A = this chain, B = another copy of it.
Amino acid sequence: MADSPKPVRDIAETARDVKAGSFRMASLSESLRNGALRAIAKSLLENGEAIFAANREDLSAGAESGLAEPLMKRLKFDRQKLRDSVKGIEDLIGLPDPLFRTAFVRQLDEGLVLRRVTCPIGVIGVIFESRPDALVQIASLCLKSGNCAILKGGSEAAATNRELFRLIRDAGLGAGLPESFLTLVETRADIGALMGCHESIDLLIPRGSNEFVRHIMDHSSIPVMGHSDGICHIYADKSADPGKAIPVIRDAKTQYVAVCNAVECLLVHRDIAESLLPAVHADLTRLDVTLRGCPETLKIIPAIPAEEGDFGREYLDYTMAVKVVDGIDEAIGHINRFGSHHTDCIITEDAEAAERFMLMVDSAGVYQNCSTRFADGFRYGFGAEVGVSTGKLHARGPVGLDGLVTYKYRLYGGGHVVADYAEGRRSFNFRDL
């Protein structure tokens, strides 16, 4: 591989170079960026065999080192993954440009016009574990939104990542993107170095296990977008319709257990516990779900006694904690204390109760009578998903392309000075245009 990129030695220096190049990246037209995405999709399709060959290297190294089956599965990059990746890029090309969008235009005074316009965030550091398709996805999201990306992939996927990176980079440069648009760093030690680049990197997006994301969040002064735990709750209120409660609980718990928007804890209003819990138990044990119940629950249905720590635990498995509560306020208090501010649902026919729940539950998603599994950018109609954020600032919940942009205030004048206004010779005359 004579044309593979030379290894990056000093991350801080590289990041500074990327930052310096990011300003040109921010000025590129939509058509240039979409053209580059088209060239990248074409190159990936045409070079499938080279990618699969690199992936076989990683797979056999993984098999040799005894990588677990789920990891091997995520590591695999086959024709289907290639098709999905290219489809993702094509969808992205069709989405509206997130840049240069004007939130408002306001005349401050005659000839003095303020515009708030979206622009890229700048340099985004992405740290991801084994899945090589994540590289394609995040590189194209960053490109669409005019950001430079510094990628740090997992060592298990090193050969695949290197090949994907080479193809994307070459196609992008050929389409007129600046050198800085995409950078790959490879050694394990680089994560710490990346986390220290707060002068050059504007945002970190970690993708991987909870522990991994939590570690990045706790140890970097660079803003982090992501989520660690997904501890979602369903609260079945006094007025819950069992015809909605049972299927929603079933779906939220069992439709896909290993994800952040699966439900981990069911809270049931005391008044309906004796009628609802046996039905929930019958429905879920049929699907091999283990219930861990509070003492009140155990009086009604057979379950494993919940221990300390079972509430506020992310099972990511066919297990759910169950607790009987005195009412909506106890449910809200429990969720705010033990949840992870991701997505929580109330099952109720009472609109006032739903409103109270939605106002007071401090989560990115507050749902009535539907499965927590809907918490997803594609299901929200965003067209592309950057990730899910449990932070409250900037972007919250499922994040679409909008989460990768910020804004500037542009002020156009004709020699206007503040002294004229401070000294009463002129006065502001605000008018939204």
Q: Which residues of A contact B (CB under 8 A)?
A: 20, 22-24, 26-27, 106, 108, 112, 114, 119, 121-122, 202-203, 217-218, 221, 223, 241, 243-244, 247-248, 250-252, 255-256, 332-333, 336-337, 354, 356, 358-371, 373-375, 379-381, 391-394, 396-398, 406-419, 421-422, 428, 430
| B contact residues around A203 at 8 Å (CB) | 393
- Please give me the residue from chain B that is nearest to A407 by CB atom: B396
Is A392 a contact of B248 with CB atoms below 8 Å? no
Is A413 a contact of B369 with CB atoms below 8 Å? yes
Q: A247-B415, A374-B108, A418-B255 are in contact. Are A408 and B363 (CB under 8 A)?
A: yes
15 A-B pairs with C-beta separation under 8 A: A20-B333, A27-B356, A108-B380, A108-B381, A114-B381, A121-B392, A243-B415, A248-B415, A358-B408, A365-B408, A366-B409, A367-B410, A379-B421, A396-B408, A398-B409
Question: Please, how many angstroms separate the alpha-carbon atoms of A299 and B370 in the complex?
Answer: 73
Is B114 a contact of A255 with CB atoms below 8 Å? no
Question: Please, how many angstroms separate the alpha-carbon atoms of A417 and B366 in the complex?
Answer: 15
Q: A374-B418, A379-B108 are in contact. Are A412 and B369 (CB under 8 A)?
A: yes
Is A248 a contact of B417 with CB atoms below 8 Å? yes
State how many angstroms separate the Cβ of A299 from the closest Cβ of chain B.
28
Question: Please, how many angstroms separate the alpha-carbon atoms of A408 and B421 in the complex?
Answer: 39
State how many angstroms separate the Cβ of A239 from the closest Cβ of chain B.
14
- Please give me the residue from chain B that is nearest to A422 by CB atom: B255
| B contact residues around A413 at 8 Å (CB) | 248, 367-371, 374
Is A416 a contact of B370 with CB atoms below 8 Å? yes
CB-contact partner of A251 in B250, B370, B375, B419, under 8 A: B419
State how many angstroms separate the Cβ of A423 from the closest Cβ of chain B.
9
Task: Give the residue among A121, A218, A394 with the most B Cβ atoms within 10 A.
Answer: A394
State how many angstroms separate the Cβ of A85 from the closest Cβ of chain B.
20
Question: Please, how many angstroms separate the alpha-carbon atoms of A393 and B203 in the complex?
Answer: 9
Is B393 a contact of A393 with CB atoms below 8 Å? yes
- Please give me the residue from chain B that is nearest to A16 by CB atom: B337
| B contact residues around A430 at 8 Å (CB) | 381
CB-contact partner of A244 in B218, B371, B415, under 8 A: B415
Is B27 a contact of A415 with CB atoms below 8 Å? no
Is B428 a contact of A381 with CB atoms below 8 Å? yes
Is A412 a contact of B368 with CB atoms below 8 Å? yes
Question: Please, how many angstroms separate the alpha-carbon atoms of A368 and B412 in the complex?
Answer: 5
State how many angstroms separate the Cβ of A354 from the closest Cβ of chain B.
8
Is B223 a contact of A418 with CB atoms below 8 Å? no
State how many angstroms separate the Cβ of A397 from the closest Cβ of chain B.
5
Q: A374-B416, A417-B250 are in contact. Are A380 and B409 (CB under 8 A)?
A: yes
State how many angstroms separate the Cβ of A163 from the closest Cβ of chain B.
32
State how many angstroms separate the Cβ of A138 from the closest Cβ of chain B.
18
- Please give me the residue from chain B that is nearest to A432 by CB atom: B381
* Known contacts A365-B409, A374-B418; 19 further A-B pairs (Cβ under 8 A): A20-B336, A23-B336, A106-B380, A108-B380, A122-B362, A122-B392, A203-B393, A223-B223, A250-B417, A251-B417, A366-B409, A369-B414, A370-B411, A370-B413, A370-B415, A371-B413, A371-B416, A373-B417, A379-B421
